[in-house]
Amino acid sequence: MIAELFSAVNSGAIAATPGGGDFVDISVPAWAWPALIGVIAAALLVDLLVFHRKAHVVNLREAAIESAVWVGLGLAVTGVIYAMFAGQGEGSGASVEYLSAYLIEKSLSVDNVFVWAIIFSHFKVPREYQHRTLFWGIFGALVLRFVFIFVGTAVINRFTVLLLFFGLFLIYTGWKILRGEDEDTDPSETATMRLFRRVVPSVDHYDGQKMFTKIDGKRFATPLLAVLVVIEVSDVIFAVDSVPAVLAVSREQFIVFASNAWAILGLRALFFLLADMRERFVYMPQTISVLLIFVGAKMTLAWREIHIPTLASLGVIVACLLVGVLASIRANRRVGGDRSPT
């Protein structure tokens, strides 16, 4: 599949999507896609074969260090994007689009992290097996996002009326979250899991980190495979929100995929850092809802050819994140003070 992708890129079958409005219009070099995918693959292999070769419980310190490294790499790509397209006079615009898309994807992924925590808790997945499961979950998410992004950009540029549809959908989703209507569901009661149990012969016990085990010469799926399926389905659901949101700040397939990929790659470390801290981010749902409503409005306005400058969008995104985090910290301190003895 990778070889076919490289061939398509070099032959011009996969090209950068024309900008339009205030979006950048860049020409992606033929080597850029192979380089991006190669670096992502190398990062995944190093993480799996060097740092997490043996199953172990990821402690808070390890998660904090790894999360800082992944975020640092994701932010460093901003400079790479600038250098790549500076010669075309689009270095600043391309880097701002990448950073805006990266921050949107990263912030929207926080909810995904909390959903993973619910899934692991429900299926009682031992903590030492969670990282390997998330590794394959992230790998599947990258493939799905690649498809979503290329289909999404192609469709939006062909049928601009979909800007209105996606914009209103994001506004509606943000409003639902703001009103508290985005309730958690039982992962085992989804249609996906009911179908999984009917189709895939399974056992109800774990066999280390294995997705399959053999009993009397027959192969059976372990609960880890069911967990992986639920995680992938949850990512598809989240991608329905996040991909249109990112397309509101950039239409360049290379920039959109790079931002999604680097934001997603750091989600495993972020999971182990934040999974048990959901109650501390009390204003994160409101922050996410405001972001969705903002990018939805931006996309809806773009349908009428009214474009909000990308730099202004970046400012709004950063401001929303800062306000949400600072308000959560203040609320936690206030609750802590209320509980202190008088």
pLDDT (mean) for 58-71: 82
- The whole-model pTM stands at 0.69
Tell me the mean pLDDT in the region 231-247: 74
User: Could you tell me how far CA 21 lies from the centroid of its own chain?
Assistant: 26
User: What letter would DSSP give residue 202?
Assistant: B
Is the residue at 341 inside a domain?
no
How many percent of the chain have pLDDT more than 70?
Answer: 72
Count of domains observed in the chain? 1
Token reading at 142: 């990258």
pLDDT tens digits for range 133-152? 887 888 888 888 888 787 76
Q: Residue 258 sits in which domain range?
A: 2-334
Question: What pLDDT, on a 0 to 100 scale, did the predictor assign at position 340?
Answer: 42
Residue 160 is encoded by which pair of tokens? Answer: 């601009």
Q: Averaging pLDDT over each range in 6-15, 57-66, 200-209, 253-262, which range is the top one?
A: 253-262
The confidence score (pLDDT) of residue 16 equals 42
Residue 155 lies in a domain: yes
Rg (CA), the chain: 21
| 11 within a domain of the structure (yes/no) | yes
d(CA 93, CA 161): 25
**What is the share, in percent, of the chain residues with pLDDT greater than 90?**
10
Q: Label residue 201 by pLDDT band (50, 70, 90).
A: confident
Q: For residue 181, is pLDDT > 70?
A: no
Report yes or no on 98 lying in a domain: yes
More confident residue, 329 or 6: 329
Q: Is 223 helix (H, G, I), strand (E, B) or coil?
A: helix
Cα dihedral 247, 249, 252, 253 sign: negative
- pLDDT at position 162 is 65
> Quick check: is 61 in a domain?
yes
CA distances from 174 to 81, 114, 245, 320, 328 (A): 30, 17, 11, 14, 19
Highest mean pLDDT among 10-24, 74-88, 130-144, 176-190: 74-88
Question: What mean pLDDT is predicted for residues 201-229?
Answer: 78
Q: Looking at the domain assignment, is residue 342 inside a domain?
A: no
Nearest CA to 94 out of 79, 81, 105 is that of 81
The set of residues, in sequence order, having a beta carbon less than 8 Å from that of 269 and lying 6+ positions away, is 58, 63, 66, 67, 69, 70
Q: What is the mean pLDDT of residues 224-245?
A: 75
Does the structure show a pLDDT above 90 at 79?
yes
CA distance 222 to 94: 44
Backbone angles phi, psi at 214, to 5 degrees: -110, 135
pLDDT: which is higher, 332 or 227 = 227
The lowest-confidence range among 71-85, 140-154, 219-233, 275-289 is: 275-289
Query: Is pLDDT at 8 greater than 50 in this prediction?
Result: no
